[in-house]
Structure 1
Protein backbone atom coordinates (compact mmCIF):
# COMPACT_ATOMS: atom_id res chain seq x y z
CA UNK A 1 0.00 0.00 0.00
CA UNK A 2 1.39 3.36 -1.00
CA UNK A 3 0.86 6.39 1.19
CA UNK A 4 -2.40 7.66 -0.35
CA UNK A 5 -4.44 7.25 2.85
CA UNK A 6 -1.93 9.39 4.72
CA UNK A 7 -2.17 12.00 1.98
CA UNK A 8 -5.96 12.10 2.27
CA UNK A 9 -5.77 12.36 6.06
CA UNK A 10 -3.21 15.16 5.88
CA UNK A 11 -5.31 17.04 3.36
CA UNK A 12 -8.44 16.75 5.47
CA UNK A 13 -6.59 17.86 8.59
CA UNK A 14 -5.20 20.87 6.78
CA UNK A 15 -8.68 21.75 5.56
CA UNK A 16 -10.11 21.53 9.07
CA UNK A 17 -7.28 23.54 10.62
CA UNK A 18 -7.50 26.21 7.96
CA UNK A 19 -11.28 26.31 8.30
CA UNK A 20 -11.07 26.77 12.06
CA UNK A 21 -8.79 29.73 11.46
CA UNK A 22 -11.44 31.24 9.22
CA UNK A 23 -9.45 30.71 6.02
CA UNK A 24 -9.41 27.82 3.55
CA UNK A 25 -5.97 26.65 2.43
CA UNK A 26 -6.30 26.77 -1.37
CA UNK A 27 -3.37 24.39 -1.89
CA UNK A 28 -5.03 21.76 0.29
CA UNK A 29 -8.31 22.23 -1.57
CA UNK A 30 -6.57 21.82 -4.92
CA UNK A 31 -4.84 18.66 -3.71
CA UNK A 32 -8.08 17.20 -2.39
CA UNK A 33 -10.04 17.86 -5.57
CA UNK A 34 -7.22 16.51 -7.72
CA UNK A 35 -7.32 13.29 -5.70
CA UNK A 36 -11.11 13.13 -6.00
CA UNK A 37 -11.43 14.05 -9.67
CA UNK A 38 -8.51 12.65 -11.63
CA UNK A 39 -9.52 9.00 -11.12
CA UNK A 40 -12.84 9.40 -13.00
CA UNK A 41 -10.96 11.30 -15.71
CA UNK A 42 -8.56 8.39 -16.18
CA UNK A 43 -11.43 5.91 -16.32
CA UNK A 44 -13.21 7.88 -19.03
CA UNK A 45 -10.08 8.38 -21.14
CA UNK A 46 -10.62 7.07 -24.67
CA UNK A 47 -8.29 4.17 -25.54
CA UNK A 48 -6.16 4.37 -28.66
CA UNK A 49 -2.91 3.02 -30.01
CA UNK A 50 -1.60 -0.54 -30.42
CA UNK A 51 -3.36 -3.49 -28.84
CA UNK A 52 -0.70 -3.86 -26.13
CA UNK A 53 -1.13 -0.23 -25.08
CA UNK A 54 -4.91 -0.58 -24.98
CA UNK A 55 -4.59 -3.73 -22.90
CA UNK A 56 -2.29 -2.04 -20.40
CA UNK A 57 -4.59 0.94 -20.07
CA UNK A 58 -7.64 -1.25 -19.49
CA UNK A 59 -5.84 -3.44 -16.96
CA UNK A 60 -4.46 -0.55 -14.96
CA UNK A 61 -7.83 1.21 -14.92
CA UNK A 62 -9.36 -1.98 -13.50
CA UNK A 63 -6.73 -2.13 -10.73
CA UNK A 64 -7.15 1.60 -10.09
CA UNK A 65 -10.88 1.14 -9.56
CA UNK A 66 -10.30 -1.77 -7.19
CA UNK A 67 -7.80 0.19 -5.09
CA UNK A 68 -10.11 3.20 -4.95
CA UNK A 69 -12.93 0.96 -3.70
CA UNK A 70 -10.55 -0.29 -1.00
CA UNK A 71 -9.85 3.35 -0.02
CA UNK A 72 -6.21 2.86 -0.99
CA UNK A 73 -5.90 6.16 -2.80
CA UNK A 74 -2.12 6.02 -3.04
CA UNK A 75 -2.21 2.84 -5.11
CA UNK A 76 -5.24 4.06 -7.04
CA UNK A 77 -3.23 7.10 -8.09
CA UNK A 78 -0.20 4.94 -8.87
CA UNK A 79 -2.08 2.65 -11.24
CA UNK A 80 -4.03 5.57 -12.70
CA UNK A 81 -0.75 7.22 -13.63
CA UNK A 82 0.41 4.00 -15.25
CA UNK A 83 -2.81 3.86 -17.29
CA UNK A 84 -2.30 7.43 -18.49
CA UNK A 85 1.35 6.81 -19.31
CA UNK A 86 0.55 3.68 -21.31
CA UNK A 87 -2.18 5.43 -23.29
CA UNK A 88 0.23 8.30 -23.96
CA UNK A 89 2.77 6.03 -25.61
CA UNK A 90 5.23 5.81 -22.71
CA UNK A 91 7.04 2.47 -22.37
CA UNK A 92 5.42 1.37 -19.10
CA UNK A 93 7.22 -1.53 -17.42
CA UNK A 94 6.05 -3.83 -14.62
CA UNK A 95 6.75 -2.45 -11.16
CA UNK A 96 10.07 -3.22 -9.52
CA UNK A 97 9.75 -5.74 -6.70
CA UNK A 98 11.66 -3.40 -4.40
CA UNK A 99 8.74 -0.95 -4.57
CA UNK A 100 6.84 -3.09 -2.05
CA UNK A 101 7.61 -4.20 1.49
CA UNK A 102 7.30 -7.97 1.20
CA UNK A 103 9.09 -10.94 2.73
CA UNK A 104 12.15 -12.51 1.13
CA UNK A 105 10.38 -15.63 -0.17
CA UNK A 106 7.67 -13.60 -1.91
CA UNK A 107 10.27 -11.21 -3.29
CA UNK A 108 12.26 -14.08 -4.77
CA UNK A 109 9.19 -15.59 -6.47
CA UNK A 110 8.05 -12.23 -7.80
CA UNK A 111 11.52 -11.36 -9.07
CA UNK A 112 11.60 -14.61 -11.04
CA UNK A 113 8.14 -13.88 -12.46
CA UNK A 114 9.16 -10.38 -13.51
CA UNK A 115 12.30 -11.73 -15.19
CA UNK A 116 10.13 -14.23 -17.07
CA UNK A 117 7.90 -11.44 -18.36
CA UNK A 118 10.83 -9.21 -19.32
CA UNK A 119 12.38 -12.12 -21.21
CA UNK A 120 9.12 -12.51 -23.14
CA UNK A 121 9.27 -8.81 -24.03
CA UNK A 122 12.77 -9.30 -25.36
CA UNK A 123 11.33 -12.00 -27.64
CA UNK A 124 8.74 -9.57 -29.06
CA UNK A 125 5.76 -10.54 -26.90
CA UNK A 126 4.28 -7.04 -27.16
CA UNK A 127 3.81 -7.59 -30.88
CA UNK A 128 3.13 -11.33 -31.10
CA UNK A 129 0.80 -11.55 -28.08
CA UNK A 130 -0.14 -7.96 -27.21
CA UNK A 131 -3.27 -8.52 -25.13
CA UNK A 132 -1.93 -11.54 -23.26
CA UNK A 133 1.29 -9.64 -22.54
CA UNK A 134 -0.69 -6.68 -21.23
CA UNK A 135 -2.75 -9.00 -19.01
CA UNK A 136 0.44 -10.58 -17.70
CA UNK A 137 1.98 -7.22 -16.83
CA UNK A 138 -1.06 -5.82 -15.06
CA UNK A 139 -1.62 -9.12 -13.23
CA UNK A 140 2.01 -9.05 -12.10
CA UNK A 141 1.65 -5.55 -10.69
CA UNK A 142 -1.57 -6.62 -8.97
CA UNK A 143 0.15 -9.70 -7.52
CA UNK A 144 3.05 -7.58 -6.28
CA UNK A 145 0.77 -5.00 -4.68
CA UNK A 146 -1.39 -7.66 -3.03
CA UNK A 147 1.67 -9.36 -1.57
CA UNK A 148 2.09 -6.49 0.88
CA UNK A 149 -1.20 -6.77 2.77
CA UNK A 150 -3.75 -8.92 0.92
CA UNK A 151 -2.75 -12.60 0.45
CA UNK A 152 -6.06 -13.57 -1.20
CA UNK A 153 -5.72 -10.76 -3.73
CA UNK A 154 -2.11 -11.77 -4.35
CA UNK A 155 -3.06 -15.39 -5.05
CA UNK A 156 -5.83 -14.38 -7.44
CA UNK A 157 -3.55 -12.04 -9.38
CA UNK A 158 -0.76 -14.62 -9.39
CA UNK A 159 -3.13 -17.14 -11.01
CA UNK A 160 -4.07 -14.57 -13.64
CA UNK A 161 -0.41 -13.85 -14.30
CA UNK A 162 0.36 -17.54 -14.81
CA UNK A 163 -2.57 -17.95 -17.21
CA UNK A 164 -1.57 -14.89 -19.22
CA UNK A 165 2.08 -15.91 -19.36
CA UNK A 166 1.13 -19.34 -20.67
CA UNK A 167 -0.74 -17.64 -23.51
CA UNK A 168 2.21 -15.34 -24.18
CA UNK A 169 4.67 -18.20 -24.33
CA UNK A 170 2.38 -20.23 -26.59
CA UNK A 171 2.27 -17.31 -29.01
CA UNK A 172 6.04 -16.90 -28.89
CA UNK A 173 6.50 -20.61 -29.56
CA UNK A 174 4.17 -20.55 -32.57
CA UNK A 175 5.65 -17.33 -33.92
CA UNK A 176 2.28 -16.32 -35.41
CA UNK A 177 2.37 -12.77 -36.71
CA UNK A 178 -0.49 -10.69 -35.37
CA UNK A 179 0.45 -7.33 -36.87
CA UNK A 180 0.64 -6.83 -40.63
CA UNK A 181 1.90 -3.69 -42.35
CA UNK A 182 0.77 -2.38 -45.72
CA UNK A 183 2.96 0.30 -47.33
CA UNK A 184 2.00 3.06 -49.76
CA UNK A 185 3.60 5.21 -52.43
CA UNK A 186 4.26 8.85 -51.64
CA UNK A 187 1.08 10.92 -51.36
CA UNK A 188 -1.06 7.95 -52.41
CA UNK A 189 -3.67 5.71 -50.84
CA UNK A 190 -3.76 3.14 -53.66
CA UNK A 191 -3.51 -0.55 -52.79
CA UNK A 192 -0.53 -2.06 -54.61
CA UNK A 193 -0.41 -5.72 -55.73
CA UNK A 194 2.01 -6.47 -52.89
CA UNK A 195 -0.28 -4.77 -50.40
CA UNK A 196 -3.24 -6.76 -51.70
CA UNK A 197 -1.42 -10.02 -50.98
CA UNK A 198 -0.78 -8.91 -47.40
CA UNK A 199 -4.41 -7.90 -46.97
CA UNK A 200 -5.49 -11.27 -48.36
CA UNK A 201 -3.43 -12.98 -45.65
CA UNK A 202 -5.17 -10.88 -43.02
CA UNK A 203 -8.57 -11.81 -44.45
CA UNK A 204 -7.58 -15.48 -44.41
CA UNK A 205 -6.44 -15.26 -40.79
CA UNK A 206 -9.77 -13.68 -39.88
CA UNK A 207 -11.72 -16.37 -41.74
CA UNK A 208 -9.76 -19.07 -39.87
CA UNK A 209 -10.74 -17.57 -36.53
CA UNK A 210 -7.30 -16.26 -35.62
CA UNK A 211 -8.81 -12.88 -34.76
CA UNK A 212 -12.20 -11.58 -33.70
CA UNK A 213 -11.36 -7.97 -34.43
CA UNK A 214 -8.99 -6.00 -36.65
CA UNK A 215 -7.52 -2.60 -35.87
CA UNK A 216 -6.41 -0.63 -38.94
CA UNK A 217 -4.09 2.27 -38.10
CA UNK A 218 -3.18 4.66 -40.92
CA UNK A 219 0.05 6.68 -40.97
CA UNK A 220 1.91 9.16 -43.17
CA UNK A 221 5.44 10.51 -43.43
CA UNK A 222 6.38 14.11 -42.65
CA UNK A 223 6.73 15.38 -46.22
CA UNK A 224 3.55 17.48 -46.24
CA UNK A 225 1.43 19.63 -43.92
CA UNK A 226 0.32 17.83 -40.76
CA UNK A 227 -3.38 18.44 -41.41
CA UNK A 228 -3.11 17.01 -44.91
CA UNK A 229 -1.16 14.00 -43.67
CA UNK A 230 -3.84 13.26 -41.09
CA UNK A 231 -6.45 13.08 -43.86
CA UNK A 232 -4.12 11.01 -46.02
CA UNK A 233 -3.58 8.49 -43.23
CA UNK A 234 -7.36 8.21 -42.87
CA UNK A 235 -7.77 7.53 -46.60
CA UNK A 236 -5.15 4.81 -46.37
CA UNK A 237 -6.94 3.09 -43.49
CA UNK A 238 -10.22 3.34 -45.39
CA UNK A 239 -8.63 1.87 -48.52
CA UNK A 240 -7.40 -1.18 -46.62
CA UNK A 241 -10.78 -1.59 -44.92
CA UNK A 242 -12.52 -1.50 -48.30
CA UNK A 243 -10.38 -4.34 -49.65
CA UNK A 244 -10.83 -6.38 -46.47
CA UNK A 245 -14.60 -5.95 -46.75
CA UNK A 246 -14.45 -7.14 -50.36
CA UNK A 247 -12.59 -10.20 -49.10
CA UNK A 248 -15.30 -11.05 -46.60
CA UNK A 249 -14.32 -9.29 -43.37
CA UNK A 250 -17.42 -7.64 -41.83
CA UNK A 251 -17.20 -3.89 -41.36
CA UNK A 252 -18.20 -4.24 -37.71
CA UNK A 253 -15.10 -6.38 -37.11
CA UNK A 254 -12.82 -3.52 -38.14
CA UNK A 255 -11.80 -0.45 -36.16
CA UNK A 256 -10.17 2.35 -38.14
CA UNK A 257 -7.63 4.72 -36.62
CA UNK A 258 -5.42 7.33 -38.26
CA UNK A 259 -2.50 9.25 -36.86
CA UNK A 260 -1.08 11.30 -39.71
CA UNK A 261 2.63 11.89 -39.19
CA UNK A 262 2.53 11.62 -35.38
CA UNK A 263 3.68 7.99 -35.00
CA UNK A 264 6.55 7.39 -37.41
CA UNK A 265 8.06 3.95 -37.77
CA UNK A 266 11.32 5.72 -38.63
CA UNK A 267 11.77 9.13 -36.95
CA UNK A 268 12.73 11.85 -39.44
CA UNK A 269 12.97 15.63 -39.61
CA UNK A 270 9.98 17.50 -40.97
CA UNK A 271 9.63 17.40 -44.74
CA UNK A 272 11.41 14.07 -45.25
CA UNK A 273 9.84 11.41 -47.49
CA UNK A 274 10.20 8.10 -45.63
CA UNK A 275 8.65 4.97 -47.22
CA UNK A 276 8.51 3.07 -43.90
CA UNK A 277 6.22 5.72 -42.46
CA UNK A 278 3.65 5.61 -45.27
CA UNK A 279 1.70 2.65 -43.99
CA UNK A 280 -1.34 1.02 -42.42
CA UNK A 281 -0.72 -1.33 -39.51
CA UNK A 282 -3.31 -4.10 -39.16
CA UNK A 283 -3.49 -5.62 -35.68
CA UNK A 284 -5.31 -8.90 -35.10
CA UNK A 285 -7.10 -9.26 -31.79
Structure 2
Protein backbone atom coordinates (compact mmCIF):
# COMPACT_ATOMS: atom_id res chain seq x y z
CA UNK A 1 0.00 0.00 0.00
CA UNK A 2 2.80 2.45 0.89
CA UNK A 3 4.59 1.86 -2.41
CA UNK A 4 1.38 2.54 -4.37
CA UNK A 5 0.70 5.73 -2.41
CA UNK A 6 4.28 6.96 -2.94
CA UNK A 7 3.64 6.92 -6.70
CA UNK A 8 1.02 9.67 -6.36
CA UNK A 9 2.49 13.00 -7.39
CA UNK A 10 2.76 15.42 -4.48
CA UNK A 11 2.19 12.75 -1.81
CA UNK A 12 4.82 12.44 0.91
CA UNK A 13 4.44 9.05 2.59
CA UNK A 14 5.91 8.10 5.95
CA UNK A 15 5.53 4.82 7.80
CA UNK A 16 5.53 4.19 11.53
CA UNK A 17 4.81 0.58 12.46
CA UNK A 18 1.53 -0.38 10.81
CA UNK A 19 0.54 3.26 10.30
CA UNK A 20 1.01 5.25 7.10
CA UNK A 21 0.85 9.03 6.90
CA UNK A 22 0.28 10.64 3.50
CA UNK A 23 0.89 14.39 3.46
CA UNK A 24 -0.16 16.81 0.73
CA UNK A 25 0.83 20.47 0.60
CA UNK A 26 -2.45 22.40 0.68
CA UNK A 27 -1.36 24.40 -2.38
CA UNK A 28 -1.51 21.18 -4.41
CA UNK A 29 -5.09 20.44 -3.33
CA UNK A 30 -6.70 23.85 -2.81
CA UNK A 31 -6.61 27.43 -3.99
CA UNK A 32 -5.86 30.08 -1.37
CA UNK A 33 -8.69 30.49 1.17
CA UNK A 34 -10.73 27.69 -0.45
CA UNK A 35 -11.87 24.25 0.65
CA UNK A 36 -12.94 23.13 -2.84
CA UNK A 37 -10.50 20.68 -4.38
CA UNK A 38 -8.64 22.19 -7.32
CA UNK A 39 -9.52 20.53 -10.63
CA UNK A 40 -5.88 19.49 -11.02
CA UNK A 41 -5.91 17.70 -7.64
CA UNK A 42 -9.04 15.60 -8.15
CA UNK A 43 -6.99 12.97 -10.01
CA UNK A 44 -4.49 12.77 -7.12
CA UNK A 45 -7.25 12.16 -4.59
CA UNK A 46 -8.92 9.64 -6.91
CA UNK A 47 -5.66 7.72 -7.25
CA UNK A 48 -5.32 7.66 -3.47
CA UNK A 49 -8.94 6.48 -3.14
CA UNK A 50 -8.29 3.69 -5.64
CA UNK A 51 -5.45 2.41 -3.44
CA UNK A 52 -7.36 2.84 -0.16
CA UNK A 53 -10.47 1.11 -1.52
CA UNK A 54 -8.44 -2.07 -2.04
CA UNK A 55 -7.31 -2.20 1.60
CA UNK A 56 -10.56 -2.59 3.54
CA UNK A 57 -8.75 -3.46 6.78
CA UNK A 58 -7.68 0.14 7.33
CA UNK A 59 -9.28 3.18 8.93
CA UNK A 60 -8.57 6.67 7.60
CA UNK A 61 -8.31 9.97 9.43
CA UNK A 62 -8.08 13.03 7.16
CA UNK A 63 -6.50 15.97 9.00
CA UNK A 64 -6.53 19.55 7.77
CA UNK A 65 -3.93 22.07 8.96
CA UNK A 66 -3.30 25.78 8.36
CA UNK A 67 -0.58 28.25 9.15
CA UNK A 68 -1.08 30.97 11.78
CA UNK A 69 -1.96 33.76 9.34
CA UNK A 70 -5.42 35.13 10.08
CA UNK A 71 -7.85 34.55 12.95
CA UNK A 72 -7.46 31.25 14.78
CA UNK A 73 -11.20 30.45 14.63
CA UNK A 74 -11.27 31.06 10.87
CA UNK A 75 -8.23 28.81 10.38
CA UNK A 76 -9.91 26.06 12.39
CA UNK A 77 -13.02 26.18 10.21
CA UNK A 78 -10.96 26.27 7.00
CA UNK A 79 -8.94 23.24 8.11
CA UNK A 80 -12.15 21.37 8.98
CA UNK A 81 -13.70 22.16 5.60
CA UNK A 82 -10.56 21.05 3.78
CA UNK A 83 -10.41 17.77 5.70
CA UNK A 84 -14.11 17.18 4.97
CA UNK A 85 -13.56 17.98 1.29
CA UNK A 86 -10.82 15.36 0.96
CA UNK A 87 -12.88 12.85 2.96
CA UNK A 88 -15.89 13.43 0.71
CA UNK A 89 -13.75 12.95 -2.40
CA UNK A 90 -12.40 9.66 -1.03
CA UNK A 91 -15.98 8.48 -0.43
CA UNK A 92 -17.04 9.60 -3.91
CA UNK A 93 -14.22 7.55 -5.40
CA UNK A 94 -15.07 4.30 -3.63
CA UNK A 95 -13.69 4.35 -0.09
CA UNK A 96 -16.31 3.11 2.38
CA UNK A 97 -17.71 6.05 4.37
CA UNK A 98 -17.53 4.24 7.72
CA UNK A 99 -13.74 3.99 7.36
CA UNK A 100 -13.22 7.76 7.02
CA UNK A 101 -13.11 10.47 9.67
CA UNK A 102 -12.13 14.08 9.05
CA UNK A 103 -10.78 16.61 11.55
CA UNK A 104 -9.45 20.11 11.35
CA UNK A 105 -6.57 21.20 13.53
CA UNK A 106 -6.29 24.78 12.32
CA UNK A 107 -2.94 26.26 13.26
CA UNK A 108 -2.51 24.05 16.34
CA UNK A 109 -0.13 21.41 14.95
CA UNK A 110 2.63 23.21 13.06
CA UNK A 111 5.50 21.21 11.60
CA UNK A 112 7.59 24.31 10.84
CA UNK A 113 8.11 27.90 11.96
CA UNK A 114 5.14 30.15 11.15
CA UNK A 115 7.46 33.17 11.24
CA UNK A 116 8.88 32.28 7.81
CA UNK A 117 7.24 31.95 4.40
CA UNK A 118 8.63 28.42 3.83
CA UNK A 119 7.50 27.42 7.32
CA UNK A 120 3.97 28.68 6.77
CA UNK A 121 3.85 26.80 3.46
CA UNK A 122 4.81 23.55 5.22
CA UNK A 123 2.14 24.10 7.86
CA UNK A 124 -0.61 24.44 5.24
CA UNK A 125 -1.21 20.77 4.57
CA UNK A 126 -3.62 17.85 4.59
CA UNK A 127 -2.51 14.62 6.21
CA UNK A 128 -4.17 11.26 5.68
CA UNK A 129 -3.49 8.88 8.58
CA UNK A 130 -4.04 5.25 7.54
CA UNK A 131 -4.10 2.58 10.25
CA UNK A 132 -5.02 -1.08 10.46
CA UNK A 133 -8.49 -1.20 12.02
CA UNK A 134 -9.16 -2.81 15.39
CA UNK A 135 -11.30 -5.62 13.96
CA UNK A 136 -8.47 -6.74 11.67
CA UNK A 137 -5.94 -6.35 14.49
CA UNK A 138 -8.11 -8.56 16.78
CA UNK A 139 -8.49 -11.23 14.08
CA UNK A 140 -4.73 -11.22 13.47
CA UNK A 141 -4.03 -11.53 17.21
CA UNK A 142 -6.46 -14.45 17.44
CA UNK A 143 -4.66 -16.29 14.66
CA UNK A 144 -1.19 -15.77 16.17
Fold agreement, TM-score > 0.5: yes
Looking at both structures, which has the greater relative contact order when contacts are Cα pairs under 8 Å and sequence separation is at least 6?
A: 2
- CA change 1:277–1:225 in 2 (3 A) is same
In 2: Cα distance, 1:226 partner to 1:188 partner: 16
Structure 2 residue 66 is matched with structure 1 residue 179: no
For the 8 Å contact 2:35–2:81, the answer to whether it is kept is yes
Aligned to 1:216: 62
Which protein is bigger by CA-based radius of gyration?
A: 1
Aligned length: 116
Counterpart pick for 2:14 among 102, 127, 136: 127
Structure 2 residue 48 is matched with structure 1 residue 205: no
Structure number having the greater strand percentage: 2
| Pairing of 1:118-197 with structure 2 (within 5 A) | 127-128=14-15, 130-132=16-18, 178-181=21-24, 183=26, 184-197=30-43
Report the Cα offset of residue 193 of structure 1: 3.0
| Pairing of 1:47-58 with structure 2 (within 5 A) | none
Report the Cα offset of residue 131 of structure 1: 3.9
**What's the TM-score, normalizing by structure 2?**
0.67
> SS of the counterpart of 2:58?
coil
The runs of at least 4 aligned residues of structure 1 exceeding 4 Å deviation read 270-273
Structure 2 residue 121 is matched with structure 1 residue 275: yes
For the 8 Å contact 2:25–2:122, the answer to whether it is kept is no
1:217-256 deviation line (CA, Å, top 9, x unaligned):
0111111111110111000011111111111112210021
- CA change 1:273–1:251 in 2 (3 A) is same
- CA change 1:284–1:132 in 2 (3 A) is closer
Structure 1: tracts of 5 or more residues without a match:
1-125, 134-176
Structure 2 residue 89 is matched with structure 1 residue 243: yes
For the 8 Å contact 1:215–1:255, the answer to whether it is kept is yes
> SS of the counterpart of 1:231?
helix
